[in-house]
Structure formats: C-alpha cells, structure tokens
Structure 1
Amino acid sequence: MTPEDRRTGRDGGDDLVALILRVLVERAVFPLYQPIVDLTTGNIVAVEALARGPAGSPLEFPDALFSASIRAGVMPLLDQLCATRAMEIARDAGERVPPLLFFNAEPAALNQPFTPELLAVVLSERPYRAVLEFTERALADHPAALLDIAAGVQRTDGALALDDVGADPLSLAFLPLIEPEVIKLDMHLLRAPHAPATIATAAVVGAHAERTGAVVLAEGIETEHDAATARALGARWGQGWLFGRPGPLDALAGRPMDPHARLRPPRPDLHLPDGTPFTMAALRHHSRAGDQPMIDGLTDYLLSLAAGAGPHAVVLGAYPDPAVGRAWLPRLASLADQAAFVGVVGPAPITAGAHPVRTAVTPADGPAAADTVLAVVGPHTAAALCVRPGPDGGVDFVVSHEPDMVHAIARMLMRRLDTAAERLDPPAADRWTSPAVA
C-alpha cells in the first residue's frame, strides 16, 4: 500500500471505505503477538494474535480498522482475514511459535461461509493448537451459531477461551454451557482483589476449573504485584505488559518457552448433544410416571431454585402447549429481573406486554415437540425437569441434578432460541471440516 493510499483515509468516511476494501484485496493485515506465560515458571506457553492494519495508516489500530469494515459492510471478511493471517504467520514460523495460539473472532464473521484461505489454514498442519476467544455476550446474542462454531473448533482439535470473565454477570452464568478450555479473568479483578465481587468471581471460576480441567488466565498483569495477585486469585497463566507488549513473533526469540504446555483434549460432541432433552435424560435416569399436580409442584421447585441462584443463573424452558407458556411468563419475567439470562421456546409466541424474557417460536412437530422442559443452571445450581405425555392421560418425567446432564439439556434449549433466519445452514461445524467453501 502506497503512502498516498495511507493518506487518503484522513479525508472522510468514504475514503476509509475505499481504504478498507484495498486492505482486503491486498490482504494488508499485519498481526502482532503478545506472550502468555506460566505464572510459576515464567515460560511462554502461548501467544495471542492482535489485529493491526497497515502501519502509519488511519486503519492501523483495530478500532478504526473494524469500524471502517462495518461501514463498508465487509466486517465478516475482515475478521476472517485477520484470523487467517494470524494463523498463517504463526504456522510458517515453525519452532518459533509456542504450542498455543489465541485469536479473537466475531461469531457474526464465523457465521458465514469461510474464505478459501481461512479454510485452508484451519485444515492445514500447524505446530500449534488454535484457541478461539469470545465473550459471553456472543452466546447471549447468537446462541445457536456460537454453539455450532464451538463444536466446529473442537472437531478440528481447537480449543475455546472465554474472555473478560468477571466483567459481566453473563460470563459466570454461561461458563457451564460453554465449558471453555481457558477462562480469562478480566483485568479489573487485579485492581480490586479484595472486593467481594472479585472474591466471589475467583471462587466460582476456581470451582469450575477444578471440575472441568480448564486453565485460568489473568489479563492485564503490569507489575510483579499484579502477578502475585493473579496467582492468589487462582490464575495459572498470565498476560500483560510485565511479560511483553504485542510485537512480531521474532521478538520472542531467545525467551524460554514451554513446548509441553497443554490444554484439555477436545470434546467434539460437547456443544451439540444428540437426541432430545427427555430421551437423553431418560437414558441416564429412569423416567417416572406422574400427574399434572406433580409436574406443577416440580415446576415450582425448579423456579424456586432459580430465584435463589442469584445474578449468575440461566433459566431455560420449552413448552408444547401455549397455555403452559402463558402460565410460565409472569414468573419467568420476574426471574429475568435478577437472573443473568432467561429464555423460553414454544410453538407460539407468548406476549404479555414488554418483558425481558428471550422467546422464540419453534416448529410444532419434530422429536422434541411434545416435551415440556425446564432447566436451571447456576454456579452452584443444576436442575432440569423433562416431561412427556404418558399413557392414560398421565405424564412421564425425569428430574436431574447431575451437572453434565443439566448443562447438556440447557445447550439443547439455547440452540433452539435462535430463529430460523439466525441458524447456520449448513452448520458452522461443517464449515470447519468441509473440503470446499460454498
């Protein structure tokens, strides 16, 4: 890109649009890499790729780069280009790259057909394991898309990192549903380590990491005191200016690396469980016969659990009978004022004025159409009720408090919360394994 090209972006938005299109054509993205270290040994275990446009241009830094791409309507292409260049450069660096490469990608960008270049590098042999970072807001906005993408990442031996944990109640709420390999503590926690919210966040994250084998990583470490605080909060790895600012991979030459740094093995089927909530739960637990008063009592029990689960609770439901949805709505709306996320799906919309419950209409047929499901997920709560019509006017039901089962049921319900227009077709998981791009 010429100096004249770099100057044109200062004249206005139209020039920035022209410049971002030139960036795409010339693949003029130049990622920098920031080291991530083991807080015990100081050895580099990973790098995070950070997008940069042409040096000295109005689009050098990511805020301007992505703002221009949104204005031009090409954000998905730019985001995929940034991921492609980060992975290509690290792949070609050979032994100079640590065993893990973190990179950010917008779900809206991955919820598109992959460019041939991105697909090629994803499917190529690489000396590192790729770790896709995203925030909790992405799951709330695009649940089906993100769960599909997560499954695709796992199917290609990749891993997941949940970023900015502790900055929003949703981050702790969605931890059990995402089950990332890496949990990145937001940097503000280091600045207030004794605050009740910090202590609570660290405790919840530590318990989750202990149960799932995830690695806790602290961001924003600038001093040795920050590093000590990060260790006290349960972080095993760290990232920040104390260990190095973003730069080219060559800047890491001579620094000790840990070639054996590893994350939990991939679990390709975790985010896309098979079957329906009732059939899956009934395989693990024997179903029981009951009547409607029994189901009403169990529904009250689960909703009371949700009310006591606090601001990090996720409450999800599915109903086959619109009357059930209408009966649920007042209590779900009340829960939505205190829980992190409340969503319900059914064959018809439930409306009762403005309410904060995420709703979606699902087809009235299919294997799950007859099931009534309610799931409550929280840092210390896991409960699900699955109901199906039984013989002689009764019902069959399963109640589970097994975390893995409840989380799987919740993922099924989260995927159903997207409308047909938002769903991936074909699924993103197929895009990570397909030999060609549509």
Structure 2
Amino acid sequence: MKVEAMRAIHVRATAAIAEVLRDRMVTPLFQPIVDLSSGLVVGLEALARGPAGTELEFPDRLFAAAHEAGLLAELDMLCFERALECAVVASAPPPLLFINAEPAVLDQPVSSRVIEMVGNGLPFRYILEYTERALPTSPGVLVHLAGIVHEFGNGIALDDVGVDPMSLAFLPVLEPEVIKLDMSLLRDPDTEHTRSVCTAVAAEARRTGAVVLAEGVETEDDLVTARRLGARWGQGWLFGRPAPMGQVTHRFDPAAAAQVPPPRPGFHQARGTPFQVASGHGRVVSGSATQMTAALARLRNLVAAGSHAVIVMSADETDAPAFTRLLADASAHTRSVIMLDDPVPGESAVAVIDPAYGSAALCVESASGRLVFLDRLPAVADVARVLLSRLGPGRLADGVDRPDARRPQLPPDLAF
C-alpha cells in the first residue's frame, strides 16, 4: 500500500511540474536590496513563485515537487529564465539582479533562452547566488561557474554565510563580490559565533572589496544591528516585501553596479598545475625527507587547531604514503576534506584554509622532490582553486558520496 501511495504522489508531482514547465507558470517576485547609508535601492533579488492559488505557489513545495518528479534542473533553469525576462522588459531595470542557483543542479547545461538573452546584452549586472548547501557537494562546479559568470561581466554572491562555518573557509577561494550574512546572525548579534563570523567576513571584505549584505532586516533595531555587524547593504521586510516587477517603484541608485567589484575574467580558471602556481608565489626548494616531514607537520598542526578547515588534496603515487597519513589526520579533525579522484600527474598538493587558524599549502614535484610551502592566504587560495578546477566524480574523504562535479556542458562561444 505504501508503494502505491508513493507512486501516486510521484505521478501527481510529475504531472503538476510538467504543466508548470510546459506553460512556463513561474512568476518571480522581486525584493529590494538597499544601501543602509543612503536608503537607495541598489538591486533586486528574484524569488520564484509557482501558479498563484495552487499548492505549488510557494518555493518550498514547488521545488520539492520538482525534485520528486525528477525535473528539478528544468524548473531551476525556468526560474532563471523568468527572472531575466521580467527584469529585461521592466520600464526601469535594476542596476543589479540577484538570482539564486539551486545547488543540486549546478552542473546542468545552460538553456538556449538564457544564451539568447545574455547574447543580446542585459541592461543590468546579475549576481548569481550560491548557498552554503552547495559548498560540500559541488565545490568544483562552483569555481567553474564563477569563472563563466565573470567572463560575461557579472558577479557571484555567497548566501547564508554564518550557518555553517565552512562557508568562511570558502570565501577566499570563491572571492564573491557580495557576502550575505544569514539572518540568524542578526537575531543573535552578541554571541561568540556571530562575532567570529563577522570578524572573518570583515577581513575578507577589506581584502577583496566585497560588499557585505545583511539578510532579514525587518525592524529599525535590525537596521542598527546590521550596521553594527559591518553590513553595507540590507534586505528584508523593513525595505519592502517581494512584489511582481510591474509593482516595483523603487528609486534605484545609478551607481550601484560600480559599488560591486568588477568582474575578473580568468580569475577562477586554472592557470597551470598546482606546483606551477605555487612556484609563482613562493620559493622552490630541493625537498629533503626532513623538509617534507617538517612541512607536513605544519599542515597537521594547522588542521588539528580547528574543525572548520577546508582541505583540498591531490597525491601522486610517489608521495602517497606521506599524504595518506595527513589525510587520515585531517579526516579525524574536520569533515571538509576533498580528495581529487584524478590526481595531478607528477605532482602532489594540499591546500588547507581555516578562517580562524590560518592557511597553508604544500606542492611537490614528485620526480625531482622539489617543493613549495605557502602560508599567505591569497597564494593558498590560488592553489585551492587550481585543485578544485580539476575536481571530478568521486568521494569525500569522510566516505560521503559526492555528486558528479563535472563541468557544465556549455556552448564554447557563450554561457550565462
């Protein structure tokens, strides 16, 4: 009986979502994002809504039904298309349009409709929002998509920062243009957790020029708190509830797009092997057994100091025993260990980034034994990006299955 009931639910979900897709029954609402100093609206975030008055109107049920029907990728792409379509035809397009990306389907091909609109030119910059949920499952895809977004003059945002401390470690790797503080920080501004998150976010914003945005600003007290936490922009019911584009009457800040760091085409793409990248940042030495042991010991100490590190590793067979021991130590201390299933030929490399205890990377040229040890954050993040760009299907070091992280099958001449 249970099997029949589940089959019936699946059939209903498939039929309902198929109808939504066929008739393009997604109507995005748009919520303002405001400069906390000037009060001007700097952009809009698109929020998907299904057919009004039905059980699929709100996004939780809409996306749950699409997942049940096996049509999540198609729905997510339709939401992206509809957000662009409504903003493009607006009488006064926003300077910035924030659009969410569904983590489970980040590796899907881009639709011809999106390609057409982007190819014709957009009257705004769009900011693609990654949520924390994508970090442990699709890190390689995140890096690749960020590169595509930048190639076409747009930007990325990391959403829900503060829910999972791992997001802080990914900040220097992704270097998002906008960092969105989760509303939970606004609700508990004086906890040690909130203070540590906001300290790390402020340091990253100073280093990269990223804009810090506070979510969930609902009252004047929230506004005061958001400023105290270091937010420059804010979003929430205090500034306006989501509404159809035709009802948007906000006064936009014409300089808003210029407040976001400019795109950096090529920044997220691999520019050589990990050892080649590392040698451009630090001194190459002829690695003896003593030097290798000392470098690995420094990495172990860094990993042991905290549990929120992101560790990305690739081990050549020559160096496998030493790196395997480090991997075992890392797995015991942190859940964020990513081991490349397709190692870099002739090299071994590991990058460790922890928001509280520092960063370091070790890259070894296996045949010669030469090595480079780095402890400056930008250099370590550079090595991590090169490693993540090579990430393919495999498993996390803690044994949790990782979804296929292959690169999206995009046309060679145009994407996003």
TM-score, normalised with respect to structure 2: 0.90
- Alignment counterpart, residue 170 of structure 1, candidates 163, 166, 173: 166
1:320 and 2:297 matched:
no
Give the equivalent residue in structure 1 for 2:390: 416
Tell me what 1:180 maps to. 176
Q: Is the 8 A contact 1:156 1:432 kept in 2?
A: no
Instruction: Give the Å deviation of 1:121.
Output: 2.0
| Closer/same/farther in 2, CA of residues 270 and 297 from structure 1, 3 Å limit | same
Residue 382 of structure 2 is aligned to residue 431 of structure 1: no
Q: Which amino acid aligns with 1:111?
A: D
AA at the equivalent of 2:142: L
- Secondary structure of 1:270's counterpart equals coil
Structure 2: tracts of 5 or more residues without a match: 1-7, 395-402
Comparing 233-242 with 123-132, greater Cα deviation is found at 123-132
Instruction: Give yes or no for contact 1:152–1:432 (8 Å, CA) kept in 2.
Output: no
Distance 2:275 2:384 in 1: 12
Aligned 8 A contact 2:198 2:230 in 1: yes
Do the aligned residues in 1 keep the contact of 2:178 with 2:212 (CA within 8 Å)?
Answer: yes
Asked if the contact 2:103–2:133 (Cα under 8 Å) also holds between the matched residues in 1, the reply is: no
Secondary structure in 1 matching 2:143: helix
Structure 1 CA distance for aligned equivalents of residues 351 and 414 of structure 2: 38
Q: Distance in 1 between matches of 2:68 and 2:177?
A: 34
Check whether the contact 1:388–1:397 (CA below 8 A) recurs between aligned residues: yes
Shift of 1:375: 1.6
How far residue 173 of structure 1 moved from its aligned partner, in angstroms, is 1.7
- What value does the CA root-mean-square deviation take over the aligned residues? 2.2
Secondary structure at 1:343's aligned position in 2?
strand
Q: Does 1:192 align with 2:188?
A: yes
Match runs of 1:47-58 below 5 Å: 47-58=44-55
Instruction: Measure, in 1, the Cα distance between the counterparts of 2:277 and 2:219.
Output: 49
- The answer as to 2:293 corresponding to 1:307 is no
Residue-by-residue CA offset, 1:7-53 (whole Å, 9 max, x unaligned) = xxxx9552332121011111111000000100111110011000001
Segment of structure 1 superposing worse, 72-81 or 114-123: 114-123
Per the TM alignment, residue 306 of structure 1 is displaced from its structure 2 partner at its CA by 2.4
Contact 1:169 1:311 in 2 (8 A): no
* Deviation for aligned residue 1:389: 3.7
Are residue 85 (structure 1) and residue 75 (structure 2) matched? no
Q: Kindly indicate whether the alpha-carbon contact (under 8 Å) linking 2:348 and 2:366 is maintained by their aligned counterparts in 1.
A: no
**Counterpart residue identity of residue 331, structure 2:** A
Aligned partner of 2:342 in structure 1 is: 362
SS in 2 for 1:399: strand
Deviation at 1:337, TM superposition (A): 4.2
Residues 134-283 of structure 1: matches in 2 within 5 Å? 134-253=130-249, 255-262=250-257, 263-283=260-280
The aligned amino acid for 1:172 is: L
In structure 2, C-alpha distance between the alignment counterparts of 1:261 and 1:159, rounded to whole Å: 13
For residues 92 and 121 of structure 1, what CA distance do their matches in structure 2 show?
11
- Asked if 1:379 is matched to 2:384, the reply is no
Q: Which residue of 2 aligns with 1:103?
A: 99
The structure 1 segments of at least 4 consecutive aligned residues displaced by more than 4 Å after TM superposition are none
Shift of 1:321: 1.9
Cα distance in structure 1, aligned partners of 2:37 and 2:217 = 14
Q: How does 1:390-405 map to 2 (within 5 A)?
A: 395-405=369-379
Which digits, 9 at most, give the CA deviation of each residue in 1:314-356, with x for residues without a partner?
122221127x4454445434433443512233xxxxxxxxxxx
Structure 1 length-normalised TM: 0.85
**1: CA distance between counterparts of 2:38 and 2:411?**
35
Identity value in percent = 44
Superimposed CA distance per residue, residues 118-141 of structure 1 (whole angstroms, 9 cap, x where no aligned partner): 221233312110100111331310
- Report if the CA contact (8 A) 1:220-1:240 is conserved: yes
Q: Counterparts of 1:435 and 1:293 in 2: how far apart (Å)?
A: 49
In structure 2, the residue corresponding to 1:312 is in which secondary structure? coil
Superposition deviation, residue 107 in structure 1: 4.0
Q: CA deviation at 1:423?
A: 4.3
Cα distance, 1:156 vs. partner?
1.1
Preserved CA contact (<8 Å) 2:270 2:386 = yes
Verify the 8 A CA contact 1:152 1:433 in the aligned structure 2: no
Q: Residue type of the partner of 1:214?
A: A
CA distance in 1, matches of 2:70, 2:308: 35
Q: 2:365 aligns with which of 375, 388, 398?
A: 388
Counterpart position of 2:4: none
- Please report how far the alpha carbon of residue 209 of structure 1 lies from its aligned counterpart in structure 2 after TM superposition: 0.4
What residue number does 1:343 align with? Answer: 338
Q: 1:211 to 1:17 in 2, by over 3 A?
A: same
Larger deviation: 112-121 or 82-91?
A: 112-121
**8 Å Cα contact 1:123/1:156 also seen in 2:** no
Counterparts of 1:373 and 1:129 in 2: how far apart (Å)? 36
Distance 1:266 1:433, change over 3 A: farther
